[in-house]
Amino acid sequence: MLALPLASVPDAAFRVLCLGAHADDIEIGCGGTVLHLAATVPGAEFTWIVLSGDGTRAEEARRGAALFLGSAARAHVVVKAFRDGFFPYVGASIKEYFEELKRDQTPDVIFTHYRGDRHQDHRLVSELTWNTFRDHLILEYEVPKYDADLGAPNCYLPLDDATCREKTRHLLDAFASQRDRRWFTEDTFRGLMRVRGVECAAPGGYAEAFYAHKLVVRPRPCEGR
């Protein structure tokens, strides 16, 4: 299958905005992609925003960001304190924050929650992403959970085994408060990446998958024409 490059201008600034409702959402949903971009795109600049977290969870959010962004040329991490589980009921305040983001951010790609996610906080973040950034490439990531809301994504980023191992290692290292949850295991994270790798025939056997509701493709003229 023809593969379209995500960042095609070597050494140019490539601005990435990562949005997550909770500590560990970004890492689970697109952590492998972040590791890959940070390591292979010299000009990649990351803005990493976690919208809820206080105490232990805020510390974990910052530790997770530090682990995944360690190779990035530039990174800015923000941890907000909107009430976990109540996003739809404090939506006006979150909407105001997104309006601030719109004034400050001009990202080339945005990673956010899947609009069909069954978690109410995740859905609101996805909705506000689309309402706020109306002329941007938005890729929605998936987070496995009890709600059984995994679907059929249509965009894949192949990953090698080493990147997958690094992703799962960072997840287990950064988020100690989640280790007693039955789904928060290496098998869960690697298993999902393996399934997505099968779906896109990834050379390394693994991939992260996203929902791309709008893509603009510009044909490049062939040389000699």
Q: How far apart are CA 132 and CA 98, in angstroms?
A: 7
Confidence of residue 35 (pLDDT cuts 50, 70, 90): very high
**Mean pLDDT for the stretch of residues 39-46:** 93
CATH fold of 14-211, please?
Rossmann fold (3.40.50)
Q: What CA–CA distances, in Å, run from 168 to 32, 75, 129, 161, 222?
A: 9, 21, 27, 11, 41
Q: Quick: pLDDT tens for 10-34.
A: 556 899 999 999 999 999 999 999 9
- Enter the pTM of the model: 0.95
Domain ranges of the chain: 14-211
User: DSSP secondary structure string, 188-224?
Assistant: HHHHHHHHHHHHTT-TTSEEEEEE-S-----PPPPTT
If residue 44 lies in a helix (H) or strand (E), which one and from where to where? strand 44-50
The separation between the first and the last C-alpha atoms of the chain, rounded to the nearest angstrom, is 25
Q: What is the DSSP letter of 142?
A: -
Is residue 46 predicted with pLDDT exceeding 60? yes
The SS3 of residue 219 is coil
Which stretch of 45-49, 158-162, 169-173, 218-222 has the lowest confidence by average pLDDT? 218-222
**pLDDT above 90: residue 6:** no
pLDDT score at 10: 57
- Is pLDDT above 80 for 60? yes
Query: pLDDT (tens digit, 9 = 90+) per residue, 73-126?
Result: 999 999 999 999 999 999 999 999 999 999 999 999 999 999 999 999 999 999
Task: Check if the beta carbon of residue 91 is closer than 8 Å to that of residue 125.
Answer: no
CA–CA gap between residue 95 and residue 115 (Å, rounded): 16
